[in-house]
């Protein structure tokens, strides 16, 4: 089972360290993605500017070729096939040559007649017209009906004999009057046309390429890339009309690849893309601080956890361990053990509170032992004193036998009833059965009838259901005694009558004691009621027996039970006693 200290460390790792690591990783990922997106969006804008500059450069060459194909010298030569006209072109139309050499990007100008004659402005070897026709190149030129068709450096190598990478523009020359085909114009353009555009891109180390839909590099400042395949798995999924970016491996290095569809049209059906490739390590260098910060935070957190464990957690764990040991010792009865002192005030307060609690518990145990010893002594005294009641019972039996042998029936009867009174008064607990309480009060009344020379009679009527329920003992006799003392005193004109009834009502037991005596004086009855209303704090000079019974019932059963007294002068008294029914 893990120790408390280890559990807290695990909780610290789970709820503090791991969330910090996750937060750092997520922050790094978000920052990387955001930076990648921002750089790509900036690069897309740069590539769009490159595309515009590219179109501007191509437009200059297109303007020059427009001038050439529409010149009168070229038109006359191709229409008449007259050599003198071309000589006239050489001599009289020097402006064409001037424009060509004035535009330093144009490397050569080649004219083909329909029958294959060729005229070139340089001495370079020229591919024959038949070779061009067999390559289907001229088919594309004818399909464009005089519009320029461009060949990229990679595509040029299979058609022309130049050892250098060049651009080629080709177009069919039409008669400006009849629009009939007259011949073909081929311009060889130096890569200087594109190089300045791509050299001026700012944004750190990167490679900018012109790529066709098949992923072949058609142009790059790095000539070694021309003709290579852009080996990117998802390149074929590039949308033809949208810009975007992705990360993939290029030249054995993870790179951020940004692309846009180019507006430069070669005249064929192939879509061209401008692609920028940035090594990922140059981008990631901008978010290294985030990664390093995360590592520093994690390291600091681990260090803090270690210090927290040494300076605080270990002491708390030791305190809890010692507290558990002391609790087990106390549980086994070793109350003399105490907690030690601790540096933390909170722990010291708990330790001191535990010691005080054990001290009080020890004192309480001592008090309980003392109390138990006193109870044993009291019980012994009670047992010792029980000898006297037994002696008294034996004596009463002797008196009863002597009275019976001498014919004194009244004495014998009083002796028997007195014995019954003593037995129920002295023996047993606080409660007796209802029938025993009734038997006790009947014994008392029998004795009092002899004493009062039969000047009163009594009636007892108890429901059978009530007889076996328990009731507080000695609650009827004091009330009957009050009747005999107060209700029938100084009355010789009428025989007294006492009625005792026992009933069950609404789940409660009830005794009713009724007499036909002289009743209770209004002042005395007011004092009794006042005593009941003021929670027994008022002392009265009357009704000690009534107060005793009522107070005992309320203490034993609760405040909802007790006595109710109804009386009127010279009209007798009715007393109701209520008590709970608790079972047989």
Examine the pLDDT at 489 and tell me if it is beyond 80. Answer: no
pLDDT band of 237, cuts 50, 70, 90: low
More confident residue, 406 or 89: 406
Q: Helix, strand or coil for residue 186?
A: strand
Least confident of 363-372, 525-534, 568-577: 525-534
Query: What CA–CA distance (Å, rounded) separates 386 from 302?
Result: 80
Plot region of 267 (φ>0 → left; ψ -120 to 50 → alpha; else → beta): left
More confident residue, 569 or 542: 569
> Could you report how far apart the first and last alpha carbons of the chain are, in Å?
55
Tokens of 233: 């798995």
Question: Count of alpha carbons within 13 Å of 45, Cβ hemisphere only?
Answer: 7
Q: Which residues contact 184 (CB under 8 A, 6 or more apart)?
A: 111, 112, 129, 132, 138, 141, 170, 171, 172, 173
Examine the pLDDT at 544 and tell me if it is beyond 80. Answer: no
pLDDT for position 297: 78
Least confident of 282-286, 458-462, 555-559: 282-286
More confident residue, 532 or 494: 494
pLDDT for position 396: 61
Least confident of 8-12, 388-392, 485-489: 388-392
Examine the pLDDT at 555 and tell me if it is beyond 80. Answer: yes
Rounded mean pLDDT of 475-494? 80
pLDDT for position 539: 44
pLDDT band of 4, cuts 50, 70, 90: low
Examine the pLDDT at 584 and tell me if it is beyond 70. Answer: no
DSSP string computed for 41-100: HHHHHHHHHHHHHHHHHHHHHHHHHHHHHH-HHHHHHHHH--HHHHHHHHHH-HHHHHHH
Query: What CA–CA distance (Å, rounded) separates 205 from 219?
Result: 17
The continuous run of DSSP H or E covering 553 comes out as helix 544-557
Rounded mean pLDDT of 311-333? 77
What does each C-alpha distance from 451 to 82, 426, 484 come to in angstroms? 181, 23, 11
pLDDT for position 510: 95
Q: Dump pLDDT digits (tens) for 20-56.
A: 778 777 877 787 788 778 888 888 888 888 888 888 8
Examine the pLDDT at 526 and tell me if it is beyond 70. Answer: yes
Q: Highest-confidence range of 127-141, 208-222, 232-246, 332-346, by mean pLDDT?
A: 208-222
pLDDT for position 159: 65
pLDDT for position 224: 83
Rounded mean pLDDT of 229-237? 67
Report the DSSP pairing between strands 253-261 and 272-279.
antiparallel
Residue 5 near residue 313 (C-beta atoms within 8 A):
yes
| Residue 387 CB neighbour total at 10 angstroms | 9
> Cα torsion for 60, 62, 66, 69, to the nearest 10°?
120
| Residue 312 CB neighbour total at 10 angstroms | 12
Q: What is the pTM of this model?
A: 0.48
Examine the pLDDT at 234 and tell me if it is beyond 70. Answer: no
Least confident of 17-26, 61-70, 331-340, 532-541: 532-541
Examine the pLDDT at 461 and tell me if it is beyond 90. Answer: yes
Q: Which residues of 206-231 are buried (b: 16+ CB within 10 A; e: fewer)?
A: bbbbbbbeebbbbbbbeeebbbbebe
What is the SS3 assignment for 299-311? HHHHHHHHHHHHH
Q: Dump pLDDT digits (tens) for 180-229.
A: 888 888 888 887 788 888 887 755 678 888 888 877 888 888 888 887 88
Least confident of 226-240, 282-296, 456-470, 505-519: 226-240
Question: Percent of the chain scored above 70 by pLDDT?
Answer: 76
pLDDT for position 233: 61
Residue 347: phi, psi to the nearest 5? -65, -40
| Residue 73 CB neighbour total at 10 angstroms | 19
Residue 168 near residue 186 (C-beta atoms within 8 A):
yes
pLDDT band of 386, cuts 50, 70, 90: very low
Residue 464 near residue 494 (C-beta atoms within 8 A):
no
């Amino acid at each position: 089972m893990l120790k408390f200290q280890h559990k807290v460390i695990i909780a610290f790792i789970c709820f503090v360290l791991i969330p910090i690591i996750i937060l750092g990783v997520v922050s790094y990922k978000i920052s990387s993605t955001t930076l990648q997106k921002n750089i790509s969006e900036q690069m897309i804008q740069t590539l769009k500017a490159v595309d515009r500059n590219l179109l501007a450069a191509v437009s200059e060459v297109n303007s020059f070729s427009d001038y050439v194909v529409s010149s009168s010298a070229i038109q006359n030569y191709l229409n008449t096939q007259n050599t003198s006209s071309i000589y006239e072109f050489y001599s009289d139309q020097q402006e064409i040559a001037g424009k060509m050499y004035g535009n330093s990007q144009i490397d050569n100008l080649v004219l083909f007649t329909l029958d294959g004659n060729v005229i070139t402005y340089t001495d370079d070897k020229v591919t024959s017209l038949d070779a061009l026709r067999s390559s289907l190149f001229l088919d594309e030129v004818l399909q464009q009906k005089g519009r320029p068709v461009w060949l990229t450096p990679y595509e040029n190598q299979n058609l022309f004999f130049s050892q250098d990478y060049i651009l080629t523009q080709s177009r069919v020359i039409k008669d400006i009057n009849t629009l009939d085909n007259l011949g073909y114009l081929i311009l060889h353009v130096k890569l200087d046309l594109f190089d300045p555009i791509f050299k001026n891109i700012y944004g750190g180390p990167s490679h900018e390429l012109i790529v066709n839909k098949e992923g072949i590099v058609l142009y790059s400042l790095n000539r070694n890339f021309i003709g290579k395949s852009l080996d990117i798995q998802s390149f074929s999924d590039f949308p033809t009309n949208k810009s975007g970016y992705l990360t993939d491996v290029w030249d054995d290095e993870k790179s951020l690849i940004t692309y846009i569809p180019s507006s430069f049209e070669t005249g064929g059906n192939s879509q061209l893309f401008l692609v920028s490739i940035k090594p990922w390590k140059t981008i990631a260098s901008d978010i290294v601080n985030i990664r390093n910060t995360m590592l520093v935070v994690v390291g600091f957190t681990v260090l803090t956890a270690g210090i927290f464990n040494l300076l605080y957690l270990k002491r708390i764990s030791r305190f809890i361990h010692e507290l558990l040991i002391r609790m087990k010792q106390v549980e086994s009865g070793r109350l003399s053990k105490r907690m030690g002192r601790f540096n933390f005030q909170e722990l010291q307060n708990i330790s001191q509170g535990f010691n005080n609690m054990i001290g009080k518990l020890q004192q309480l145990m001592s008090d309980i032992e003392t109390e138990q010893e006193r109870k044993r002594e009291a019980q012994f005294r009670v047992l010792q004193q029980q000898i006297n009641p037994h002696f008294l019972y034996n004596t009463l039996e002797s008196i009863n036998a002597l009275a019976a042998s001498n014919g004194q029936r009244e004495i014998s009867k009083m002796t028997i009833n007195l014995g019954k009174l003593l037995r129920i008064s002295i023996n047993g607990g606080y409660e007796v059965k209802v029938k025993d309480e009734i038997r006790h009060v009947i014994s008392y009344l029998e004795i009092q009838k002899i004493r009062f020379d039969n000047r009163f009679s009594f009636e007892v009527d108890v429901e059978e259901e009530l007889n076996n329920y328990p009731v507080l003992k000695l609650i009827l006799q004091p009330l009957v005694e009050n009747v005999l003392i107060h209700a029938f005193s100084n009355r010789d004109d009428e025989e007294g009558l006492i009625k005792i009834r026992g009933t069950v009502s609404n789940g409660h037991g009830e005794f009713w004691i009724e007499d036909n005596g002289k009743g209770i004086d209004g002042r005395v009855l007011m004092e009794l009621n006042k005593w009941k209303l003021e929670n027994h704090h008022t002392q009265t000079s009357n009704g000690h027996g009534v107060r005793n019974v009522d107070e005992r019932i309320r203490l034993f059963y609760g405040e909802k039970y007790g006595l109710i007294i109804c009386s009127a002068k010279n009209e007798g008294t009715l007393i109701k006693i209520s008590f709970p029914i608790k079972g047989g």
